[in-house]
Amino acid sequence: MDIQHQGIILNVYNFDDCVSFYKKAFDLAEMFLKVDGDFRLTCLEFGNSYLMLET
């Protein structure tokens, strides 16, 4: 098995507040954002990994 990326996925209630908190508190850069109806997802760079926040 060849693992390309590893990361953490968090399902959150206060999406905008959580994204803002992790970006500011840990100085994480945004990799990408996806919106599909009520579903929202933001992926942040977390060292060599990622932190994904989703509704």
The CATH number for 19's domain is 3.10.180.10
pLDDT digits (tens, 9 = 90+) for 7-27: 999 999 999 999 999 999 999
pLDDT score recorded for residue 14 = 95
Distance CA 23, CA 15 (A): 12
Residue 1, pLDDT > 90, answer no
Task: Give me 4's structure tokens.
Answer: 């390309």
Task: Please indicate, yes or no, if residue 40 is contained in any of the structural domains.
Answer: yes
Task: Please indicate, yes or no, if residue 21 is contained in any of the structural domains.
Answer: yes
Confidence of residue 3 (pLDDT cuts 50, 70, 90): confident
pTM of this structure: 0.87
The boundaries of the domain holding residue 14 are: 7-54
- Look at residues 9, 13, 17 and name the one whose alpha carbon lies nearest to residue 46: 9
pLDDT score recorded for residue 26 = 93
Task: Please indicate, yes or no, if residue 1 is contained in any of the structural domains.
Answer: no
pLDDT digits (tens, 9 = 90+) for 20-51: 999 999 999 999 999 999 999 999 998 889 99
